[in-house]
Chain A
């Protein structure tokens, strides 16, 4: 109990060391620390709650098996995010190969709407609609553009962290993010001009 109390305030490297030393409580603490973020991240790739949980479980089981290979030259969460993104994109690729595409958006809207951490029932309808429109466009973007937008816009990762998660150069992050935003903007303008931002000097 004392050991568990100690791990509550422990840093990630300390928890990792404790887990590698045989402490399941340390691993549980790591999961508790990151499970909300991983669920939120995976929610950008699936609209099904059970599928999301299965993916999250797959992610943490991979972490459980591979944690001994973690190099401490980067933060644990970027390593964890890399596993989560790879798991999600592999899942999408498998699903695509099996031709089990996502249910049509309109049908999903009625039945599979994701729960939210704190559903704001007073949120203006326009805002919720905009969030849904954004989601639909992201679903249609090429995977690499969707992922980089998710990491930057939703997860608020720095360019450096994105580079670590995706295993790409910093310059590639910048250019890919730019292209992703351009693609997103074009799709928004084409499909939902009512939600398009002001044009100004932007293209």
Chain B
């Protein structure tokens, strides 16, 4: 029973098999492979894991004759509006901005109406008595100024 390899060692073996190690790293890996039987066994297992793919590597559909011509014919039917896409993109962007603005406005209205806790602060609104006192005060000032103007 060979000991299990760490993920780091398995990834190292994958990079080794995929040809993704630098020359220095490959040399170091070769040295370890020569000294560590478990690593060698792991290398064989990782190589075997690639075998199922190799047998089907050439499989796949192939284009029917005239494929390129059919694509070109379709391409010719595409609307010739280089600016069209940009315009469509700009319209799309504007719509998004308007949508966001509407959402922000709605949220602000809700906040202002006190729907959200911690929204409009009722302490900022004057109490009726206080409001009346301020109005009376302003009236008195106006009357004083009017009287002063009449004396002059």
Q: Which residues of A contact B (CB under 8 A)?
A: 24, 27-28, 31-32, 35-36, 39-44, 49, 52-53, 56-57, 60-61, 64-65, 68, 114-118, 123, 127-128, 130-135, 149, 152-154, 158-159, 174-175, 177-178, 181, 184-185, 188, 195, 197-203
Contacts and interface: CB of A to CB of B under 8 A. Distances in A.
Contacts of A133: 52
Given A65-B78, A159-B20, A177-B14, A117 B71 contact: no
B130 interface: no
A114 B59 CA distance: 7
Nearest to B51: A197
Contacts of B4: 201-203
Contact of A188 (B3, B41, B52, B54): B52
Majority-rule SS of A interface residues: helix
A158 B20 contact: yes
B48 A152 contact: no
B63 A131 contact: no
Contact of B49 (A32, A49, A185): A185
B36 to A, nearest CB: 9
A28 B72 contact: yes
A65 B77 CA distance: 12
Contacts of A115: 61-62
B45 interface: yes
Contacts of A174: 11, 14-15, 20
B5 A131 contact: no
Contacts of A117: 58-60, 62
A88 B79 CA distance: 24
Interface string B43-59: 01110111111111111
B96 to A, nearest CB: 21
17 contacts: A31-B68, A35-B63, A42-B61, A43-B61, A49-B61, A53-B63, A53-B64, A56-B67, A60-B71, A116-B59, A131-B55, A131-B59, A154-B57, A174-B11, A184-B49, A200-B45, A201-B38
